[in-house]
Every structure is written in C-alpha cells, then in structure tokens.
C-alpha cells in the first residue's frame, strides 16, 4: 500500500478544535511522534509518501480528511471547515498518478474522517463537517451502498467507529447508533475512554494510541502496535487521520 502523509505544519497550534479545549501543542514533539508513525507504517510494508507541510493550513497533517480513496478513483473532498479547503490541491496532485480524480462540489461538504469504507458499503457520518449533499454526490461515484450515520458528540464518524479486523469494529456506542452496524462483530471502547474508538487497520495489524489502556486491553487477541499520538490528539487528530492509503491497482 502507498501511504500518503504530510508533514506537521509549524502552525499546528492554530488547528481547528470542536470538542476539545485548546492546549499548547509542541511542534517538535508532534513532528517527532509523526515521524515515528511514518516509521511504523514503513515497517508494516507501506511505501510512505511524505508531502511538505503548508503553514497556511495548520491542519494539513490530517490528510485523511481531504480525499476518499477507492479502488478505481479518488474523491477529493470539500472539507467542512473553511480553513481546511485549501489543503486539497496538494493532495489531488499526490493522488493523480494513482487514481482518476473526482471532486465534491459546493454546497456539499465532507471530511474523509467521516467516511468508513468497507468491502461492500461506505458508511458516511453526518457530522458538523459532512452534509447530506455530500452523500448524494458520493453515491454518484460508487456502486457500493452508501449508509448515512448520524454522529453526535464526536468530530467525525471515525472518532467513534473504526475497523480493527475484517469483520470487527471498535466503537463508542454513545456517539453512533450501533444498530446501523448490526452485521459486524463489535468491541466497545471502555466508557472511561470515549476517544478510544479510532484505530488504524493496516493488513491485519491494528495501530492504536497508547492513551487508551483499558480499551487496548480489549484488543489483545489482535496484532496491535501502539504509538504515542498524544501531541496531535491535542489538535483533535487520531491515528487514522494522518494517512491516505492507496492500494496498488
């Protein structure tokens, strides 16, 4: 898999925040943790692409939000936060060698963090960032079933639910209706760790933050590699949001 990543902007302190209080974010620590994350991706066999940051876009490290990469095409998003819309041209340039590109157009808005792609479905969070118009546009670009999922309390769908195995989801059922995922096996986050639902599955390996030990204990039957993602968590980012995975054709 090709893993498209982008450096941390030196302006990361000015990241958009929705559900977390602003704290000081140390650029050097964030960049070092991000390098460690890239090394982990490379050790798992990913071909890591590292794009330069754009300091005019404090959130540019969170590349997941800028595109939805499918097997035959990539959908360039129109991010819900206006401050993030200028992040997409660099990502379109990076994806162009690998996929035909299509674009979400106004008035639709969608962040890739709201999009959970599975073999036959695409679940799309209806959040403060993603609207119904985007779901309608996405339907025009895929044969997969597109399932809208109202998200309450979390920034994105994938803050609340991610895949940890081919048939298993990790979920905070406080933030999404678990009934919409009834045909999956499910592991719930520990209630004391509401932000613990964001894991990144690479092949059969689960990348998971060290910050949620109680939920981690529920994943011990899986091949889990933990990382310290605490500095970018202060910018409301999790482990999925720093990568765009592109499967080789």
15 lies in the site for ligand CIR, by CB under 6 A: yes
Q: Which of 33, 38, 53, 59 binds ligand CIR (CB under 6 A)?
A: 59
In the bound state with ligand CIR, the residue whose beta carbon lies nearer, of 23 and 185, is 23
**Integer CA distances (angstroms), 68 to 88, 100, 135, in order:** 11, 12, 12
Could you tell me the smallest distance in angstroms from the CB atom of residue 211 to ligand CIR?
A: 14
Touching ligand CIR, residues 147-186 (CB under 6 A): 156
Could you tell me the smallest distance in angstroms from the CB atom of residue 120 to ligand CIR?
A: 23
Cα(236)–Cα(140) distance, rounded to whole angstroms?
Answer: 31
The catalytic residues are 156, 241
Angle at alpha carbon of residue 167, lines to 71 and 170, rounded to 5°: 100
Q: Which region among 30-38, 132-140, 188-196, 235-243 touches ligand CIR (by CB under 6 A)?
A: 235-243
236 lies in the site for ligand CIR, by CB under 6 A: yes
Is residue 132 within 8 Å of 107, Cβ to Cβ? no
Touching ligand CIR, residues 63-82 (CB under 6 A): 64-65, 81
Cα(38)–Cα(32) distance, rounded to whole angstroms?
Answer: 10
* Residues with Cβ within 8 Å of residue 14, at least 6 apart in sequence: 58
Q: Which of 125, 194, 196, 238 binds ligand CIR (CB under 6 A)?
A: 238
In the bound state, the residue with its beta carbon closest to ligand CIR is 113
62 lies in the site for ligand CIR, by CB under 6 A: yes
Which DSSP symbol is given to 216?
Answer: H
Q: Which of 235, 243, 244, 246 binds ligand CIR (CB under 6 A)?
A: 235
* Residues with Cβ within 8 Å of residue 89, at least 6 apart in sequence: none
Touching ligand CIR, residues 113-132 (CB under 6 A): 113
Closest Cα to residue 189, out of 208, 204, 166?
208
Q: Which region among 22-30, 119-127, 182-190, 236-244 touches ligand CIR (by CB under 6 A)?
A: 236-244
**Integer CA distances (angstroms), 175 to 40, 155, 179, 239, 241, in order:** 29, 10, 12, 18, 18
Could you tell me the smallest distance in angstroms from the CB atom of residue 84 to ligand CIR?
A: 6
In the bound state with ligand CIR, the residue whose beta carbon lies nearer, of 99 and 109, is 109
Closest Cα to residue 113, out of 74, 64, 70, 77?
64
30 lies in the site for ligand CIR, by CB under 6 A: no
In the bound state with ligand CIR, the residue whose beta carbon lies nearer, of 84 and 167, is 84
Q: Please, how many CA atoms are within 13 Å of residue 107, restricted to the half-sphere of its CB?
A: 3
Q: Which residues are at the interface with ligand CIR (CB under 6 A)?
A: 15-16, 18, 59, 62, 64-65, 81, 84, 113, 156, 235-238, 241
């Amino acid at each position: 898999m090709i893993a498209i990543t982008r450096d941390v902007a030196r302006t990361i302190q000015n990241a958009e925040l929705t559900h977390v209080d602003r704290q000081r974010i140390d650029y050097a620590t964030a960049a070092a943790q991000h390098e460690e994350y890239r090394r982990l991706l490379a050790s798992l066999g990913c071909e890591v692409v590292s794009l330069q940051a754009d300091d005019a876009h404090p959130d540019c490290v969170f590349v997941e939000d800028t595109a939805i990469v499918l097997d035959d095409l990539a959908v360039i998003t129109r991010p819900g936060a206006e401050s993030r819309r200028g992040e997409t041209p660099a990502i379109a340039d990076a994806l162009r060698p690998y996929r035909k590109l299509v674009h979400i157009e106004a008035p639709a808005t969608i962040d890739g963090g709201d999009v959970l792609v599975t073999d036959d479905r695409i679940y799309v969070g209806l959040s403060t960032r993603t609207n119904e118009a985007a779901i309608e546009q996405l339907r025009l670009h895929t044969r997969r079933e597109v399932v809208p999922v109202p998200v309450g309390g979390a920034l994105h769908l994938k803050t609340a639910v991610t895949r940890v195995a081919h048939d298993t989801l990790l979920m905070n059922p406080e933030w999404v209706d678990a009934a919409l995922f009834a045909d999956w096996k499910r592991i719930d986050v520990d209630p004391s760790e509401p932000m613990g639902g964001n894991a990144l599955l690479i092949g059969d390996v689960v990348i998971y933050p060290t910050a949620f030990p109680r939920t981690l204990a529920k994943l011990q039957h899986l091949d889990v590699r933990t990382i310290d993602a605490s500095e970018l968590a202060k910018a409301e980012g999790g482990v999925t949001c720093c990568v765009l995975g592109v499967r080789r054709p």
